[in-house]
Homo-oligomer: A and B are copies of this chain.
Amino acid sequence: MITLRDVSKTYHRKKISTEALKKINLQIEKGDIFGVIGYSGAGKSTLVRLVNYLERPTSGEITVDGKHLAELNPHNLREIKKEIGMIFQQFNLLESKTIFQNVAMPLILAKTNKQVIQERVTELLAFVGLADKAASYPSELSGGQKQRVGIARALASKPKILLCDEATSALDPQTTQSILDLLKKVNEEYGITILLITHEMAVIQQICNKVAVMEEGNIIEKGSVVSVFGKPKHPTTKGFVQTVVKNELPFSIKTKLKKNQQQKLYRLDMIGDHTMESIFYYLFHTFQLQVTVVFTNMTEIQDSVLAVWYIQVEGEERNKQQAWSFLVENQVNVEEITI
């Protein structure tokens, strides 16, 4: 649906030049909910702005729906843009129009019949919880309310592609959840492709099937969400993954353990159904080990669960070895940890 080939973007002003994107390659398939995450200033917004050609790439090639954007005439470019909804990081609402009119704008541009506009906008405003604000102006809304207007506006014309630049950054978790559910719903029902920029790993965890991690204008890691979350390779990615998969020992526990460092500490990682099984039963009964759970965490990602256990074990060395082999056979990763 969207392909970027060797796309670079450099901003110039006087002698200062900023390389916002460096030879980016990306492939987004129809129906994907593709997440892009990265530090502030990594180039995420620049990336989406290139996809609907609000900004022209310095070099490289962008294809949307099989069409090379650079080769389109203005008219065809506009036709493509009509199929792409965009939620802006800074909202970009019309201050002079009511909330209703703001959301109706894409429909008005498409010369939709008044009746249909009325229905569609009312439905969307109800969806984003702003039915009572229809007659208000943007300056009378809270930050999060403005963002929701932006979301409703982007969805108004039932686009084929939705670009979300930090679409939920100003929203509380509950509202975020309802918006993400809505996005997931339109994705499933209408097959909308979504390119979703965010700095919140939780958002990606909840609705994306694929993810790319950006750093300083490069894509440093990409793949399916389960694989990236389960086995992050790059340190930056690990950092992001940890914000939702809290699989590191908390600071307070570490301090306590440091004081009392006799016992060895093991970390057990497992994905999916294993967590359901009573593996500890085996450790106790079959291998006669006394296990102390120091810290544990389970995180649900895309219908499977990642689990991590930090344990201390007392028992015979031979039994421990047998236990570890048993665990490894059962796809549990065992690692000795030094603090």
Contact = CB atoms under 8 A, between A and B. Distances in A.
B143 A40 contact: yes
A299 B244 CA distance: 12
Contact of A199 (B41, B170, B251, B277): B170
Contacts of A39: 144, 172, 174-175
Interface string A297-316: 11110011100000010000
Nearest to A284: B284
Contact of A170 (B140, B166, B243, B304): B166
B292 A277 contact: yes
Given A166-B143, A298-B295, A300-B252, A173 B201 contact: yes
Nearest to A197: B143
Interface of A is mostly: mixed
A76 interface: no
Nearest to A253: B305
Q: Which of A44, A172, A312 has the most CB of B within 10 A?
A: A172
Interface stretch (A10-18, A66-74, A329-337): A10-18
A199 B291 contact: no
A209 interface: no
Contacts of A253: 276, 300, 305
B240 A144 contact: no
Contact of A291 (B170, B278, B295): B278
27 contacts: A11-B140, A13-B136, A13-B140, A38-B172, A39-B172, A39-B175, A40-B172, A41-B144, A44-B142, A169-B170, A171-B199, A173-B201, A173-B240, A250-B300, A250-B305, A252-B305, A253-B300, A256-B276, A275-B294, A275-B295, A278-B290, A278-B293, A280-B280, A281-B291, A284-B284, A285-B290, A295-B298
Given A18-B140, A45-B142, 19 more contacts: A39-B144, A39-B174, A40-B144, A40-B148, A40-B170, A41-B141, A41-B144, A90-B143, A169-B169, A169-B170, A172-B199, A173-B201, A253-B276, A275-B294, A275-B295, A281-B290, A281-B292, A296-B297, A297-B297
